[in-house]
Copies of this chain bind each other. A is one copy, B any other.
Amino acid sequence: MSHKAASHASCIPKIDEVNALEALHNFVKDDLNLVDKVIIREMTSQVPLIRDLAGYLIHAGGKRLRPMLTIACAQLAGYQGQRHIPLAACVEFIHTATLLHDDVIDESNLRRGIASANALWGNKASVLVGDFLFSRAFELIVADGSFEVLKILSEASSTIVEGEVLQLLTANNTATTETGYFNVIKAKTAQLFEAACHIGGVMAECTAYQKQALAAFGHNLGIVFQLIDDGLDYYGTESQLGKTPGDDFREGKVTLPVILAFTQGNADEKKFWERTLGQLDQTDQDLNLAIQYLKKYNVFSRIIEKAKSFSKRAKESLMVFPESSLRKLLLNVADFCVYRLS
């Protein structure tokens, strides 16, 4: 996008940061392949629909960011066993279940085109396969046999759902505050990042202080990730985002870019946001106009600054662990998550 290079030339990422996720992926590749095997095995069901959707989800091939974090944090904390494989699969199951349920659409939304598992299988299948993943995850966590892990992941699941409900309530509400927004993303995104990292430390039986450090790393990284994701929705390309840009706008989600522009906007601009997001009354030109308003108030730079401060906190947490190539990779990931928008 042309406005991108122009306005953020100073933030152009260095090569090692761009490839940070790829580098972490390579580092944990063998374990990640084992995680995929567990995912395939556990989604094997006598029910064809579940098998089909499992295949779709595996081959659609998300970034597997959360299971990568579980594997990496367990290793960073010195874990030597094999429990991290099924538990990383559980984290991915919980994540995928929330994605499927987030895809469920209300009658009022049916007119808009939505490309997702839902479009292929329908509401009901999305709900049920999400439920299947969620309950299968709990079976695996129970089989793992640690109450500490059970507590972390069951609490995370509850919190994620509260976050999703909160998000539902802020949709179409241009009065949503920055605090309200952060409450949503902490619950719906940061909590699972936090849990994914935290259980790595639990498996390694490291000190409470180190476990808290891993949890804090995950929490802050999750915030960075969602801040940038919400920025990219107005600003990114389809390949950066893994989905069509402008989805949040079309669905009337009130995310931080909008909150920042709305707060400073003049009366006409406030009317624009009310019409497009509050009432979902949109024309083809409105997304471009929205992006112009975001640029007018320097929204992207401001979000990058916020993301940098959470990224800094994430990186500081890891300093309780001794220097290692894995720690360096995780620090790079924290930087990279910011630079996706830069």
Instruction: Tell me the A residues contacting B by CB distance below 8 Å.
Output: 45-50, 101, 104-108, 110, 122-125, 127-129, 131-132, 134-136, 138-139, 142, 145, 147, 150-151, 154-155, 157-158, 160-162, 164-166, 168-169
Contacts of A142 in B (CB 8 A): 147, 150-151, 154
Q: Which residues on the B side are within 8 Å of A129 (C-beta)?
A: 165
CB contacts (< 8 Å) of A124 on chain B: these are 104-106, 168
A49 touches B168 (CB 8 A): yes
**Residue in chain B with minimal CB distance to A141:** B154
Residue among A108, A136, A158 with the highest chain B CB neighbour number at 10 A: A158
Given the contacts A47-B169, A101-B128, A168-B49, A135 and B158 also touching, CB distance less than 8 Å: yes
> 13 extra interchain contacts, Cβ-Cβ under 8 A, other than A47-B162, A106-B122, A131-B134?
A47-B169, A104-B124, A125-B165, A128-B164, A132-B161, A132-B165, A135-B154, A135-B157, A135-B158, A135-B160, A136-B158, A142-B154, A145-B147
Nearest CB of chain B from residue A117's CB, rounded to whole Å: 13
Tell me, in angstroms, the Cα distance from A220 to B279 when the chains sit together.
52
CB pair A162–B50 under 8 Å, yes or no, is yes
CA distance in complex: A162, B42 (Å): 13
Expressed in whole angstroms, the Cα–Cα distance for A273 and B158 within the complex equals 43
Write the nearest CB–CB distance from A45 to chain B, whole angstroms.
6
When the two chains form their complex, are residues A125 and B168 in contact, meaning their CB atoms are under 8 A apart? yes
A168 to B46, CA, bound (A): 14
Question: Is B135 within 8 A of A123, CB to CB?
Answer: no
Docked pose: A140 CA to B142 CA in angstroms: 14
The CA-CA distance from A331 to B209 in the complex, in Å, is: 55
Q: Which residue of B lies closest to A133 (CB)?
A: B161
The answer to whether B154 and A139 touch across the interface, beta carbons within 8 angstroms, is yes
Q: Which 10 A-B pairs have the closest CB atoms?
A: A135-B157, A135-B158, A138-B154, A131-B161, A106-B122, A132-B161, A142-B150, A139-B154, A47-B165, A128-B165
